[in-house]
Amino acid sequence: MEEIRIHGRGGQGSVTLAQLLAQAAHEEGTWAQAFPAFGVERRGAPVEAFARFDETKITDRSQVDEPDYVIVQDTSLLEYVDVTDGLNEDGLVLVNTDADPEELDIETDAEVVTVDATEIALQHLGRPIMNTALLGAFAGATGLLGQDSMEAVITRKFGGEIGEQNVAATNEAFSEVSA
Amino acid sequence: MSSDLQDQDYTDEVEHGEELWNPGHRACAGCGPALAMKYITEAAGENTIISQPTGCMEVVSTPYPESSWGTSYIHNIFENAASVASGIEAAYKSFDRRDPDHLDVEKEDDVNIIAVGGDGATADIGIRALSGMMERGHDVTYIMYDNEAYMNTGVQRSSQTPLGASTTTSPAGEVSIGNDTNKKDMASIAADHGVGYVATASISNPNDFKQKVEEALSRDGPKFLHVYSPCPVGWSYESSKTVELAELAVETGLFPVFEMEDGEITSVNKIRDRKPVREWLETQGRFKHLFKDEKGEQAIEELQEWIDDRAEDLGLDA
Amino acid sequence: MSQSEDPYEDLKITTGAVVEPNTSRVNKTGSWRQFKPVIDAETCIACGQCDTFCPDQAAKPVEGEDFYAFDLDYCKGCGICEEVCPVDAIDMIREVK
Amino acid sequence: MAKAEQEPNPSGEQEVMKGTSAVAKGVMAADPDVISAYPITPQTGVVEKLSELVADGELDSEFIKVDSEFNAASTCIGASAAGARAFSATSSQGLKLMSEPLFTAAGMRLPIVMAVANRSLSAPLSIWADHTDAFAERDGGMLQFHAEDVQEAIDHVLMGFRVAEQVNLPVLSNFDGFILTHVQEPADIPSEEEVNEFLPPRDPAFTLDPSDPKTMGAYARPEHWTEARYEIQAAMMESKEVWAETVEEFKEVFGRDYTEYNGMIDTYHGDADYRLVALGSMCGTIRGVIDQYREQGVDVGLVRPRVHRPFPTEEIRKALGDAEAVGVLTKEMSPGYESALAGEIKGTLYHAENQPPIKSFVIGMAGRDITAAEIGAMIEETMEASGPMTFDEQESWPQLREELLQTGGDQ
């Protein structure tokens, strides 16, 4: 089973990202689950969301405490959230930033990958909504999700021109991180 | 009295008509609300569904396995008759749209959906349900029969109990005049919800009341009627005086009779030579303490002022 | 008048305790009465006021006659009819049972 | 049965959808005449999705946007009495607010179906999941089911309509707040065609039809009330058979198999020496821990009541009677006594042939996460249970943070 934990802020779409991850994994033919850390946090407060992929039906309902992958939507969180807590040392941290991994203050044996998802989003969508770019980057960095699956899910969710823009953002992030 | 009068019995010879409010109900002798039920069913006819909250009229009419109702009837609980009626109306709307053959009645418009509750069930505990029903615009006629206290449970004060009335929870005493508030204005509350047709009526004028029921039923959307119906037990008077006291309440202006359409008063039953409320108070045991001391006299004066102010607002005096 | 069966005969509790309409007629409230109304048929003008204001559907026209009288099965003896009668044709008299 | 083995690959008919949306789509397939509901966390997604489906013309129900849960239940009562198929949904405080009318819905034998997104009751205020709300309505005459996952939450609503409309009782279909309402996971959304095959139109014995007037909601005097209310007991007992037929028919139409123990309980290694009992979503996590322990040679299994009312008495006797020891994990408590579920299971076994020792554990209250390690510890404690226990020893609160108590860590 692959377990993913997303760190973000209320309003940044952590839940949407978890949902897209689960839907894309499901599109690949695996079982998937996504859920938020249930709370009453308002816009701007630190939040978490989780996703799991597995070949068999996922029954575990506990929160993800020992993730294989961590996605950080906003580097300002690094100051006061221990994003690598419980992280599998063979795992991976994906951070949305224009900095290089070594410039970040993240203590971990796991691999750290960075992508400027916000910039990619601004280019393609004209707005800093970085979830589809982060989805693409996650797929590129982990190889867990294919571009076709992501495109299918995004098209279903957004449709039309916005869907196309998001697919483009996903693909650019995918290529950038894969390269 | 001659002995032939004593033996007189036409029981087997009297003609009953189509009665949808049946005899055998267990209301007290001289019950004002029982008259209101009679007039409502006469005006509405058989193509009617009545939703009634817990209260006197429910208890006297439906001890299992008896029913005094000839119409369809449902009682649920004390504070939700308006909501139950809302649900019935929604069901009929749905049948009308989706399953027109659901019933023999031709369409939902033909079915009169009426909620009939006492003053406590309506103005107090059930006002949330009533407010929701009116605000959402259900095609329901809500009728509050007002006997000015919780009679079913033994004469406790409600928000319709008039100033000065001694009830079991607002007893007159050394320092108490009895109930220390005036009647809550339900007609205005209904009108302020945007209810298109609001009217008050008294059981002392059945034709007026029945016309208002018919008028309400002829309109779409929520309607609210307030019908005055004295209770000989709760008010402490001879059972034969029910109609007379209802009329006297109208003649003193304690209970003004009027209609409102779209929030405006459109008709008022004008009163010539409005009588002082004292005349009405004197008729009932619940007010007798008012005539014994100075604070009682002050209460009568206060009630008279409240009535005068309302009479002026309504243009009640002819 | 809608005739109805005696609901107590072969009584069963129906699903949801649903009741047939018009069944309270089985309950003869005339037994509550201490005073009963009597009509002076000569004086009665058949205006129907007693019927209009009877809470118990007990003041009714007499079949084939031009006056009103009382269904003593249901009359509770409240005396409203006596009060509303415009021609004083009704008297409430002490009932000897 | 091992769920994972029999589940089809999810990429076929299933959609990944939020739990509340999935339940709403299931409700749509049942095509209720009237829906009346009020928003409350964490159920809100159900009414929002249903509102959206109505707004888009996909669902042709009358949707009453009521002023409170109290009137959601009350309007459903009116609609159901008029002959409509009526649905509502709520949670927690909302369910408490419905409590008064819901008891009458049972007494008046109105088959209203409700989805309950389980949540703790105040005070202190909490929006998170446990089962205190459902258990507080335990004695009202409503059938109660507990779903383990989103698929069951959908299916229980559909099966709920079928059984409710046959036995004339309301249904509370429970699914855990947030854990199931807010999860995104694959689920098969039944189509209207499938549901039509499974769920006949409602055919009520009595309605408020003015052409055949009836009086509903009569009051009963002492000489009749006991019998009227006993009819609910009889209908509950009858509902077991109807439920057994319902799960069979469901399997035929939809292929999903809930027929174990006639649909009353679901087991996982149900013949193991040591058996845990739990309701709802935590059973999923428990399954994984059971797998780990079994790999280490510990013979442990799970017995999960799917139906809580009517209580699966005979089934529980069969499923637990021969266990070495039983651990009951509950998300509810009964202050002054032990958890209601533990007490019910003990009561059920009292006159059975065997009475295994039973430990109960109050956990996961108000959404506190239940970890695999904690479940492991409870398995181990259950394995040690034996012989007579004092009342204090019967139940423990393994997640209790004693350092927060004023009495401070003296246990």
Question: Is D411 in a helix, a strand, or coil?
Answer: coil
Reference A51, options A20, A30, A22, A10; nearest CA is A22
**Domain at A2-177, CATH from 1.10.8.50, 3.30.200.20, 3.40.920.10, 3.40.50.300:** 3.40.920.10
Q: Is B177:B164 a contact under the CB 8 Å cutoff?
A: yes
Q: B: neighbours with 3+ CB pairs under 8 Å? A: C, D
Are residues B67 and C23, on separate chains, in Cβ contact within 8 Å? yes
If you average pLDDT over residues B42-60, what whole number do you get? 97
* pLDDT on residue B303: 98
Which residues of chain D lie closer than 8 angstroms to C16, CB-CB? 107-110, 168, 205-206, 216
Domain ranges of chain D: 3-254, 264-404
A157 contact D CB<8A: no
Reference D380, options D398, D401, D362; nearest CA is D398
Cα distance between residue C58 and residue C67, in whole Å? 14
Q: A: neighbours with 3+ CB pairs under 8 Å? A: D
Say which of D109, D215, D224 has its CB closest to residue C21: D215
Check if CATH label 3.40.50.920 holds for domain D264-404: yes
Domain ranges of chain A: 2-177
Question: What's at D134, amino acid-wise?
Answer: A
Which residues of chain B lie closer than 8 angstroms to C65, CB-CB? 13
pLDDT in tens, C39-91: 999 999 999 999 999 999 999 999 999 999 999 999 999 999 999 999 999 99
Say which of C24, C39, C92 has its CB closest to residue B25: C24
* Whether pLDDT at B48 is above 80: yes
* B48 Cα to chain C: minimum distance (Å): 13
Same fold? D3-254, D264-404: yes
Give, rounded to a whole angstrom, the gap between the first and last alpha carbons of chain A: 26
Check if CATH label 3.90.550.10 holds for domain D3-254: no
Which residue reads 């607010």 in tokens? Answer: D97
* D87 Cα to chain B: minimum distance (Å): 11
Which residues of chain C lie closer than 8 angstroms to D220, CB-CB? 17
Q: Which of D14, D40, D185 to mutate to test the interface with A (most CBs of A within 10 A)?
A: D185
* pLDDT on residue D5: 46
If you average pLDDT over residues A38-57, what whole number do you get? 89
B44 contact D CB<8A: no
Say which of C21, C26, C77 has its CB closest to residue B24: C26
* pLDDT on residue D409: 55
* pLDDT on residue D398: 97
Q: How far is CA D331 from the centre of its chain?
A: 12
Residue B106's pLDDT band (boundaries 50, 70, 90)? low
**Domain at B32-314, CATH from 3.30.930.10, 3.90.550.10, 3.40.50.970, 3.40.50.300:** 3.40.50.970
Domain assignment of residue C66, given as a range: 1-97
The structure's pTM equals 0.95
Q: Radius of gyration over alpha carbons of chain A, in Å?
A: 15
Give strand ranges (E) for D22-66: 34-37, 62-65
| Closest-approach residue (CA) in chain B for C81 | B240
pLDDT in tens, A64-112: 999 999 999 999 999 989 999 999 999 999 999 999 999 998 989 999 9
Can you tell me the ipTM of this complex?
0.94
Which residues of chain C lie closer than 8 angstroms to D168, CB-CB? 15-16
B 81-120 near D (Cβ less than 8 A) = 83-95, 97-98, 102-105, 111
Q: Count how many domains chain C has.
A: 1
Phi and psi at residue B216, in whole multiples of 5°? -60, -45
Cα distance between residue D23 and residue D175, in whole Å? 10
Contacts of B208 (CB under 8 A, 6+ apart): B201, B202, B257, B269
Which residues of chain A lie closer than 8 angstroms to D370, CB-CB? 61-62
pLDDT in tens, A35-45: 999 877 788 88
C42 contact B CB<8A: no
Give strand ranges (E) for chain A: 2-9, 31-36, 46-54, 69-72, 92-96, 111-115
Low-confidence ranges of chain D (pLDDT < 70): 1-12, 408-411
* Bridge partners of residue B143, in order along the sequence: B116, B225
- Integer CA distances (angstroms), B153 to B51, B234, D216, in order: 20, 10, 22
Give strand ranges (E) for A55-91: 69-72
Reference C85, options C35, C28, C44, C30; nearest CA is C44
Are residues D208 and B88, on separate chains, in Cβ contact within 8 Å? yes
Strands C90-94 and C35-39: antiparallel
* C27 Cα to chain B: minimum distance (Å): 5
* pLDDT on residue B2: 52
Q: Which of C15, C19, C23, C25 to mutate to test the interface with D (most CBs of D within 10 A)?
A: C15
Q: Is A20:A153 a contact under the CB 8 Å cutoff?
A: yes
Which residues of chain D lie closer than 8 angstroms to C14, CB-CB? 206
- Torsion, Cα C75 C79 C83 C87, to 10 degrees, reads 60
